[in-house]
Amino acid sequence: MKPRSLTHLLFATLLLALPVAVTLQAAETASSFKLDETSFRCMREMTPVRHFYVDNLAGNLQGTLAAANAPQGAVYPTGSVVQLVPTEVMVKRDPGFSPVTGDWEFFELEVSASGSKISTRGFAEVNNRFGKNCFGCHAPARQPWDFICEQGHGCEPIPVTHAMTGALQRSDPRCGAAEPQPGDSWELFKLKSLVVIGSLVSTVKGWF
Ligand code: HEC
């Protein structure tokens, strides 16, 4: 083949490949429901289930509640939102979107009176603000709980109690005035101390 026809061939291949690449890119971000920082709201406006809250961005709250209340566990439907604390969220994306994480996307938010900002989002690679991997901790609850840890679903327990997460829910800054219950400020104080001790321990570990 002459060098010139080779250049033409290469050019034509590139032109053909371009729409394929664009389509692949679009498929990666496409969603059957709207999902951006305005999708997240005051936790207490979501629907409570035991000690956590759920929502559904695709209009299927009944399906999400049915999964959350299934005694033997169930796969949550597309659009499900699950939150235990204001800043960490799991959102169920469309089927096949991320097989490894059971189509869950993990979010770490910054929350304030003016709303939510997404600081991190993604799949198996996402870490929380303490540098720990969301997926790593939630993976043991894969079957039959669809990665929802609660207590007794196989995940390592965390040192954060439901008294603490309740206090965080009641003081979600996106909800306006806090609605504290007796003991909440003590729970929040203990939580802050845990965070300080935790970061001291990891700093000290980093020295060796
Ligand atoms: C150190 C392990 C660990 C890490 C890291 C972690 N989680 Fe969890 N998560 C848990 C455990 C354990 C629970 C259940 C706590 C309880 O109810 O007592 C939980 C609860 C939750 C819940 C409520 C539903 C459920 O599974 O019980 C959501 C939502 C959640 N985590 C999201 C996240 C997100 C998002 C991240 C990352 C930004 C993350 N988690 C990081 C261990 C972890």
How far apart CA 107 and CA 128 sit, in angstroms, is 8
How far apart CA 63 and CA 184 sit, in angstroms, is 32
The residue to which tokens 């840890």 are assigned: 149
In whole angstroms, how large is the CA radius of gyration of the chain?
Answer: 21
The residue whose CA is least distant from atom 17 of ligand 1 is 150
Q: What is the pLDDT of residue 25?
A: 47
89, 128, 191: which to mutate for ligand 1, most atoms within 8 A of CB? 128
pLDDT by residue for the chain (208 residues), tens only, comes to 566 666 676 666 655 665 555 554 444 568 999 999 999 999 999 999 999 999 999 999 999 999 999 999 999 999 999 999 999 999 999 999 999 999 999 999 999 999 999 999 999 999 999 899 999 999 999 999 999 999 999 999 999 999 999 999 999 999 999 999 999 999 999 999 998 988 888 888 878 7
Q: What is the pLDDT of residue 199?
A: 82
How far apart CA 113 and CA 42 sit, in angstroms, is 10
For the CA of 156, the nearest atom of ligand 1: 12
Q: What is the pLDDT of residue 26?
A: 47
Q: What is the pLDDT of residue 27?
A: 47
Asked if residue 90 has its Cβ within 6 Å of ligand 1, the reply is yes
Asked if residue 126 has its Cβ within 6 Å of ligand 1, the reply is yes
Asked if residue 85 has its Cβ within 6 Å of ligand 1, the reply is no
The amino acid that residue 207 corresponds to is W
Provide the token pair at 98: 């991320």
Asked if residue 171 has its Cβ within 6 Å of ligand 1, the reply is no
User: Ligand 1 centre and the CA of 7: distance in Å?
Assistant: 54
Asked if residue 67 has its Cβ within 6 Å of ligand 1, the reply is no
Q: What is the pLDDT of residue 59?
A: 97
Q: What is the pLDDT of residue 13?
A: 61
How far apart CA 61 and CA 74 sit, in angstroms, is 14
Residue from 149, 150, 107, 113 nearest 129 by CA: 107
How far apart CA 198 and CA 194 sit, in angstroms, is 6
